[in-house]
Amino acid sequence: MSTNGRATRDLREILQKPGNDACADCGAPDPTWGSCSLGVFICLACSGIHRNFPDISKVKSLSLSHWEDHEVQFMAENGNELMKSKYEAAVPVYYYKPTHKDCQVLREQWIRAKYERKEFSNPGNSFTYEEGMRDGVLMKRGRDNGQFLSRRFVLSEREGTLKYFTKYDAKEPKAVIKVDTINATFQPEKIGNPNGLQITYLKDYSTRNIFIYHDSGKEIVDWFNSIRAVQLHYLKVAFPGATDAELIPKLTRNFLKEGYMEKTGPRQTEGFKKRWFTLDHRRLMYFKDPLDAFAKGEVFLGNRDHGYNASPGLPAGTHCNGTWQHGITIETPDRCFLFTCETESDQQDWLKHFNDVVSAPMSPQEYTTLSLC
């Protein structure tokens, strides 16, 4: 057997050790690359990020690259679990650990924070996310003209708010956003910028979207995790008996699904119109355009036991003038909502998410929302 053939076999054996069967950085299954200088097994996508700092991480394909015996030995002596205990020793509970489903900027800054900046290697480190105040300039999309302009943003732990100002030296903010109403999710494709962040919050009981970015990936991810840190602080004050495990799911979250469907109005005789839909846990919002500041409408999805249901197809006799034929009916205690999807696979995916939501138990906070609907 050739030297490289033996190395490949040995690497396969090392992959069987606990923790080595998933990417050390994003959790993607069956990693096919390794960092022979860090001693971790990683996926193809994360290996591309590691290549950006070759002085720290030297990556090789497990099957196609030539491995020296001492490199294989180093992988055997280290591996994902041991290296996580070193490089992730002190990750704050609020810090968002990206998965393989997350965007490039989140994964890159997580990898750089671990290995390049070594932010989490030493317990007792002070973090920029925990300074209690963050003040800086971000590019914000104008609500009406769609232009991105620089705006000053101020995040305050003491006040529990995120403010933004149209001018840097303005005395009064354009908006004061309570952190407990904020959701923030990276949307590079929708915004058209690799560092694009969508912030959603409640304004006068309606959902408001703002779209921001910063040219620096580190800066925008630092803002994101600073928001999560302030949210956790707020929640710990509001719910002093709650554990971190109970509070972390209440921080920022990714949308369950987004995409186009057609919908008709409450009389179900109006024409079907194409709308952009966002499913944010129990709130289904629809917009004329994906970058609209305000939703045209919202549907609250409660629990099946309270009369909420989602099923394929449309009621008999529905006049479907739209171009899409794959129907969905959502029943609520007050009315039925009718939608159509472009493809059957899209219909099935929306239905899966809708049924997962209406099957899930409701929290006390969600019962409060239900009473307001």
pLDDT value at 372 more than 60: no
Residue 338: pLDDT band with limits 50, 70, 90: very high
**Phi/psi of residue 74, each to 5°?**
-65, -40
pLDDT value at 322 more than 50: yes
What does the pLDDT average to over 238-249? 90
Residue 107: pLDDT band with limits 50, 70, 90: very high
Which of 122-126, 252-256, 354-358 shows the lowest mean pLDDT across its residues? Answer: 122-126
What does the pLDDT average to over 77-106? 96
pLDDT value at 128 more than 70: yes
Residue 206: pLDDT band with limits 50, 70, 90: confident
* pLDDT for residue 269: 64
What does the pLDDT average to over 186-210? 93
pLDDT value at 11 more than 90: no
Q: Which of 80, 84, 59 is nearest to 71 (CA)?
A: 59
Q: Which of 101, 17, 77, 87 is nearest to 56 (CA)?
A: 87
Pairing verdict, β 175-178 and 33-35? unpaired
Percent of the chain predicted with pLDDT > 70: 94
Which of 86-90, 250-254, 307-311 shows the lowest mean pLDDT across its residues? Answer: 250-254
* pLDDT for residue 6: 74
pLDDT value at 281 more than 80: yes
* pLDDT for residue 3: 52
Residue 258: pLDDT band with limits 50, 70, 90: very high
pLDDT value at 268 more than 80: no
Higher pLDDT, 348 or 317: 348
Higher pLDDT, 373 or 255: 255
What does the pLDDT average to over 301-312? 94
The mean pLDDT value of the chain amounts to 91
pLDDT value at 368 more than 90: no
What does the pLDDT average to over 260-275? 83
What does the pLDDT average to over 148-175? 94
Rounded to an integer, what distance in angstroms lies between the CA atom of residue 350 and that of residue 310? 9
344, with CB counted inside 10 A (0-12, 13-18, 19+), is exposed
What does the pLDDT average to over 157-172? 94
Q: Edge-to-edge strand order for the sheet containing 59-61?
A: 40-42, 33-35, 59-61
* pLDDT for residue 203: 81
Residue 2: pLDDT band with limits 50, 70, 90: very low
Rounded to an integer, what distance in angstroms lies between the CA atom of residue 265 and that of residue 258? 20
pLDDT value at 1 more than 50: no
Q: Residues 143-156: pLDDT tens digits?
A: 888 899 999 999 99
Residue 126: pLDDT band with limits 50, 70, 90: confident
Residue 124: pLDDT band with limits 50, 70, 90: confident
What does the pLDDT average to over 201-208? 84
* pLDDT for residue 318: 76
Residue 125: pLDDT band with limits 50, 70, 90: confident
Cβ 111 vs Cβ 25: under 8 Å: yes
The pTM assigned to this predicted structure is 0.90
